Every structure is written in structure tokens, then in C-alpha cells.
């Protein structure tokens, strides 16, 4: 075997729970360690360890990404009441993804891993559609209430420096109803815009953005305006040089164009649009295990992860000693994404080419018909198609790499 590739700076390695934790160890042992002298700073975000450390493990992991610039995260349990009982937790700890996202103030980019023998539900999507979801504000930080009966609902803004209040009538209720207040900040929208322009430029993809600014002439219009300001002040020349474009349209027009198009662009989505549309695209491109996900902070810190959960049902089978057929593609690509980024930042071309080779091996394994159960159901029928176990799939990818 050739010399293992050395790394000059660490990747922040964030371990997780259940079936993804099992696969995490397999991917490292079979696909990475034989080829790369992995330099990682390890954080155990398994639920038990989060509980033991009063969730400080999560906070420390986020700090470590801030410090080293690149992290890779396994899926983790967000505990609900049942999990509190199952793991005898001190309390119902918050979602680690939520904590890390808030600390990095990032934008999440999700892209499908396309393979030749799984056709997207939309025939003309021959190239990937990447979603960039604004992860702050709007309906996710709303305040809402019921209007129990007739009365007046108003928006009131009170300046901190004591200036005059601004008021606007929302509705004069004649009977019971509902109302909601939402907000966003210029700073967060600008960070979102920058992250999207950066990602599109980095990947040499067009950037599409849509809002409902014809109806929402202040709120949605602000998003449009900030994107335009960023584009004109910092990106127009760079985009022209790279042969890519920034395209804005009304959100409903944009959705229609997405479906009719061939893909190959980054779709910047407001928070709610991104929540809904990433689920639609995820299923249209096949399986959640065929989606890569990366959180990018405005100052260029990266956290790569799999977007699916810990695959609890498969884990319980695994614990009983039964065979599982769990797809490790998203985890493999989380690792290759993080290591490639390290390779770029630290100037290690061998690391980048190894990761590209590993990704190609994983894709060609599926294209040869060897795949896990979630994909067998979706693949173009062929006598070569064969459902394999979790371990066998990883073994088949390994068999395509140098001995
Ligand atoms: P899940 O882990 O995504 O799994 C839901 C179902 O999707 C599975 O039962 C399986 O379907 C299929 N699936 C998902 N990933 C797969 C893979 N890699 N290979 C094959 N099939 C796959 O969601 P969940 O079971 O609802 O959630 C389990 C735990 O994950 C929860 O505690 C939740 O908090 C956590 N979670 C974590 C993250 C994260 O950290 N990124 C994200 C979401 C959820 P079949 O059973 O039909 O085979
Ligand atoms: Mg969603």
C-alpha cells in the first residue's frame, strides 16, 4: 500500500448516535484510515455523553469548528420525552444541530448525490439542484396569538433611543381570529446572501432567488434589495468572469422554472421555502441518504453532515444481531466534503484527489447495481441490481479503491 496521506490541520470530528454512529466507525476504518493519516479533534455528541457533560460537549464542538474552520458531524438524537426515559437523561437537551447552527450563524446547503441508475422524479433534472436555506427568523421565531373576539391588532415599534413609536394596524377584528408577528434582521439576511454568493461562486453554479415582494412590499422586498446590493457591490464582476449568473424572480415564477429547468443551480430559499422545498427535492432526487448537507458561516467556517437522522429502526435491528441495509452515502460524502475542504485550505492536492476517487467509487458501486435497500426500490430495474447489507456496501466501495 502507498504511504498514507498526511494532514497538517485537524478536522473537527463530531460523533453521534445509533445506526449512524455504527456506520461512522465503519467508514473511518474501511474507507479512510487505510489511506489517510486522519488528523481530527474528536467530540463525542452521543446522547449519553451530551447528558454527562450537561450538553457542554455540543458547545465545545461548535467552538472547535470556529477555531479550526472545518468540521464533520454524524447524525445525533434530538431527545423527546421517550428518549429522556430511554436514556435516563437529566433533561430534554436541545437539538445539537440547532445549537451549532445558532453559534455559527450559518446557511445550510443541501445537494443531491446523483447516480446514473436512479432517475429523479422530474425527468428533465439532469443536473443537481442545490438548496441554500436561510436558517434564521421568519415563522421560526414568530410570536402568535388568537384574537378571542372583536378588537384591534397593531404592529408597534418602539425605538430604544426614545424616539417616537411607529404603529400600523394589522386588522380590526369583528370576531375571533388569529394573528402572528415575524421578523428578520438586515445582518442575518446579508450573511445569508453572502453565503449564497460565496457558495455559487465556489461551485461555479448560477444562483437563483425568489421572494413574494409584489405582495410583501417591505418584508420580502428587503430580502431582494439586500441580495441586489451584495451582488452589485461584490459579485457582479466575479460572476461574469466565472460565466455564471444571478437570477431573481417572483417565488411562484421561480418554482415553475425550477420544475421546467434542467437543474445545475443554487436555489437560495427563505427559511420556510427552504424547509419545504428541501423535503420536496430530497424525495424527488431519491432518498435522504443521497443528499449532502453543509453549514457555511458568513466568515467561512464549514460543517459537513448527513441530513438524515440516526436511522433508529435499523439500529434496533442491528442491536438484535439482525442484518441491516443502511445507506452510508451521505456519511461518506460528509467526510469527503470535510477532507476536501481541508485539502483546499491547507494545499494538500493528494487529499482532494483521494476524496474525489472515494466519491467516484461510491457512485460507481451503486451504478454497478450494488446498493442498500432504500435505493433498490428506486433504481432502474436491472438483473445486476442486488440489495446488500450495510457492511457489504462499504466493502464494495472499498473494493474499488487501491488494495
Ligand atoms: P431517520 O433517522 O432519518 O430515519 C427515518 C427513516 O428513513 C428510516 O427508518 C429509514 O426508512 C429511512 N432512512 C433514513 N436514513 C437512511 C439511510 N441512511 N439508509 C436507509 N434508510 C434511511 O429519522 P427518524 O428515525 O425519524 O429519526 C431518528 C433520530 O434521528 C431521531 O432521534 C431524531 O432526533 C434524529 N435526527 C437527527 C438528524 C441529524 O442529526 N442530522 C436529522 C433528523 C433526525 P425505513 O425504516 O423505511 O428503512
Ligand atoms: Mg422540512
With a 6 Å cutoff on the Cβ, whether 58 touches ligand 1 is: no
Decide if pLDDT at 2 tops 80.
no
286 in the Ramachandran plot: left (φ > 0), alpha (ψ -120 to 50) or beta?
left
Look at residue 86 and tell me whether its pLDDT is greater than 90: yes
Please state at what angle helix 349-367 crosses helix 390-399, rounded to 10 degrees: 120
Which among 99, 123, 79, 118 has a CA at the least distance from the CA of 263?
123
Contact 31/332 with Cβ under 8 angstroms? yes
pLDDT of residue 81: 94
Is 113 within 8 Å of 363 (Cβ atoms)? yes
Q: Give residue 290 CA to ligand 1 midpoint distance, Å.
A: 13
Cell numbers that stand for 327 in this block: 445507506
* Residue whose CA is at the smallest distance from ligand 1 atom 23: 309
What pLDDT band is residue 50 in, cutting at 50, 70 and 90?
very high
pLDDT in tens, 301-357: 999 999 899 999 999 999 999 999 999 999 999 999 999 999 999 999 999 999 999
Is 289 touching ligand 1 by the criterion CB < 6 Å?
yes
**SS3 (DSSP) at 222:** helix
Structure confidence at residue 295 (pLDDT)? 92
**Quick one: how far is CA 147 from the chain centroid?**
37
**Helix 18-27 with 329-346: angle, nearest 10 deg:** 50
Instruction: Specify whether the CB–CB gap between 42 and 13 falls below 8 A.
Output: yes
Mean pLDDT on 210-219: 97
Distance of alpha carbon 27 from alpha carbon 147, whole angstroms: 54
Is residue 312 within 6 Å of ligand 1 at its C-beta? yes
Range with lowest mean pLDDT among 103-107, 341-345, 375-379: 103-107
Q: What is the mean pLDDT of residues 189-208?
A: 94
Q: Report which of 86, 111, 93 is spatially closest to residue 315, judged by C-alpha positions.
A: 86
Count Cβ atoms within 10 A of the Cβ of residue 350 and give its class: 0-12 exposed, 13-18 middle, 19 or more buried: middle
Quick check: 13 pLDDT over 90?
Answer: yes
Give yes or no for a contact between 223 and 270, defined as CB atoms under 8 angstroms apart.
Answer: yes
Name which of 5-19, 171-185, 286-300 the model is least confident about.
Answer: 286-300
Burial of 88 (0-12, 13-18, 19+ CB in 10 A): exposed
Q: pLDDT by residue (tens digit) across 354-368?
A: 999 999 999 999 999
pLDDT tens digits for 137-158?
898 888 999 999 999 999 999 9
Could you tell me the pLDDT band of residue 298, with boundaries at 50, 70 and 90? Answer: confident
pLDDT in tens, 182-192: 999 999 999 99
Ligand nearest to the CA of 131: 2
8 Å CB contact between 285 and 112:
yes
Instruction: Using alpha carbons, select from 219, 229, 168 the residue that is nearest to residue 197.
Output: 229
Q: Does residue 15 line the site of ligand 1, with CB under 6 A?
A: no
Of 293, 308, 314, the one to substitute when testing ligand 1's pocket (max ligand atoms within 8 A of C-beta) is: 308
Query: What share of the chain has pLDDT > 70, as a percent?
Result: 100
pLDDT per position as a tens digit, 68-85:
999 999 999 999 999 999
Residue 300 is predicted with a pLDDT of: 85
Ligand nearest to the CA of 269: 2
Average pLDDT, the chain: 95
Residues paired with 70 in a beta bridge = 302
Label residue 1 by pLDDT band (50, 70, 90).
low
DSSP bridge pairs for 223: none
Residue 368 and residue 384 in contact, taking contact as beta carbons nearer than 8 Å: yes
pTM value?
Answer: 0.90
Q: Whose CA is nearest to atom 3 of ligand 1?
A: 309
**Exposed/middle/buried for 190, CB within 10 Å: 0-12, 13-18, 19+?**
middle
326 Cβ closer than 6 Å to some ligand 1 atom: yes
Minimal-distance CA residue to ligand 1 atom 1: 309
pLDDT, position 313: 97
Cα–Cα dist 277/271, whole Å? 10
CA nearest neighbour of 12 among 57, 55, 68: 68
Q: Which of 311, 379, 391, 394 to mutate to test the pocket of ligand 1 (most atoms within 8 A of CB)?
A: 311
Amino acid at each position: 500500500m502507498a504511504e498514507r496521506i498526511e494532514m497538517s490541520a485537524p478536522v473537527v470530528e463530531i460523533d453521534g448516535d445509533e445506526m449512524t454512529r455504527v456506520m461512522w466507525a465503519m467508514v473511518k476504518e474501511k474507507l479512510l484510515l487505510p489511506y489517510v493519516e486522519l488528523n481530527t479533534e474528536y467530540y463525542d455528541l452521543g446522547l449519553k455523553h451530551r447528558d454527562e457533560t450537561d450538553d457542554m460537549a455540543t458547545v465545545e464542538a461548535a467552538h472547535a469548528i470556529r477555531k479550526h474552520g472545518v468540521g464533520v458531524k454524524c447524525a445525533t438524537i434530538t431527545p423527546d420525552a421517550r428518549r429522556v426515559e430511554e436514556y435516563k437523561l437529566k433533561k430534554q437537551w436541545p437539538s445539537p444541530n440547532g445549537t451549532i447552527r445558532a453559534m455559527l450563524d450559518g446557511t445550510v446547503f443541501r445537494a443531491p448525490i446523483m447516480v446514473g441508475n436512479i432517475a429523479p422524479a422530474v425527468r428533465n433534472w439532469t443536473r443537481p439542484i442545490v438548496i441554500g436555506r436561510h436558517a434564521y427568523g421568519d415563522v421560526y421565531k414568530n410570536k402568535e396569538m388568537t384574537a378571542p373576539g372583536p378588537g384591534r391588532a397593531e404592529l408597534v415599534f418602539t425605538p430604544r433611543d426614545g424616539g417616537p413609536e411607529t404603529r400600523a394596524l394589522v386588522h380590526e377584528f369583528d370576531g375571533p381570529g388569529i394573528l402572528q408577528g415575524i421578523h428578520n434582521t438586515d445582518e442575518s439576511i446579508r450573511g445569508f446572501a453572502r453565503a449564497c454568493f460565496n457558495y455559487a461562486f465556489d461551485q461555479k453554479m448560477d444562483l437563483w432567488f425568489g421572494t413574494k415582494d409584489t405582495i410583501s412590499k417591505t418584508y420580502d422586498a428587503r430580502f431582494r434589495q439586500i441580495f441586489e446590493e451584495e451582488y452589485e457591490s461584490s459579485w457582479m464582476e466575479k460572476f461574469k468572469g466565472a460565466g455564471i449568473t444571478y437570477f431573481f424572480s417572483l417565488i411562484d415564477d421561480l418554482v415553475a422554472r425550477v420544475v421546467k429547468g434542467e437543474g445545475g443551480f443554487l436555489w437560495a430559499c427563505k427559511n420556510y421555502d427552504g424547509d419545504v422545498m428541501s423535503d420536496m427535492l430530497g424525495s424527488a432526487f431519491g432518498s435522504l441518504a443521497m443528499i449532502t448537507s453543509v453549514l457555511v458561516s458568513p466568515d467561512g467556517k464549514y460543517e459537513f453532515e448527513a441530513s438524515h437522522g440516526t436511522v433508529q429502526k435499523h439500529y434496533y435491528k442491528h442491536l438484535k444481531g439482525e442484518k441491516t441495509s443502511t445507506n452510508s452515502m451521505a456519511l461518506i460524502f460528509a467526510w469527503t466534503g470535510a477532507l476536501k475542504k481541508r485539502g483546499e485550505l491547507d494545499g494538500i492536492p493528494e487529499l482532494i484527489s483521494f476524496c474525489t476517487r472515494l466519491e467516484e467509487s461510491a457512485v460507481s458501486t451503486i451504478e454497478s447495481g450494488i446498493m442498500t435497500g432504500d435505493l433498490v426500490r428506486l433504481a432502474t430495474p436491472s438483473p445486476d441490481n442486488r440489495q446488500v447489507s450495510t457492511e457489504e456496501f462499504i466493502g464494495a466501495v472499498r473494493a474499488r479503491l487501491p488494495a
